[in-house]
Copies of this chain bind each other. A is one copy, B any other.
Amino acid sequence: MHAFRKAIEARDLDAAEALLAENVVFTSPVAFKPYAGKAITAAILRGVSRVFEDFRYVRELSGADGRDHALVFTAKVDEREIDGCDFIHLDEDGLIDEFTVMVRPLSGAQALSAAMGAQFEEITKEAQARLG
């Protein structure tokens, strides 16, 4: 089991954040444009943890070189059932330098988009606090 999954399952967001590379790029299931950097990615992960209910990893897959992992999950957002997957890529130090999320179905993606939109101010504030 990848350390990121362990951290999330232990609800230890500090431990999860410590696995992110400084230059991590976060690619959202809803927004087209990726987010660059550890501060905004950590803030988004905290925002996501506030909107997902009944979050549970159900399956884990890996690439042949051990640098790519896919963590399949189920969750609920605002009563909508969601299937999703965290795709993580590790750099040479084993830190996550690419983090891409996909979700289904469309109704779930739309609920997630609305819920994350409502978190926008808090996410921005958290990211700025991390940047000092």
Give the B-binding residues of A (Cβ under 8 A).
Answer: 27-32, 59-64, 68-70, 72, 81, 83-85, 87, 100-110, 113
Contact = CB atoms under 8 A, between A and B. Distances in A.
B102 A83 contact: yes
SS of A interface (majority): strand
Number of copies: 2
Nearest to A61: B61
Nearest to A80: B32
Nearest to A30: B106
Nearest to A105: B32
A107 B108 CA distance: 14
A6 to B, nearest CB: 16
Contacts of A63: 59-61
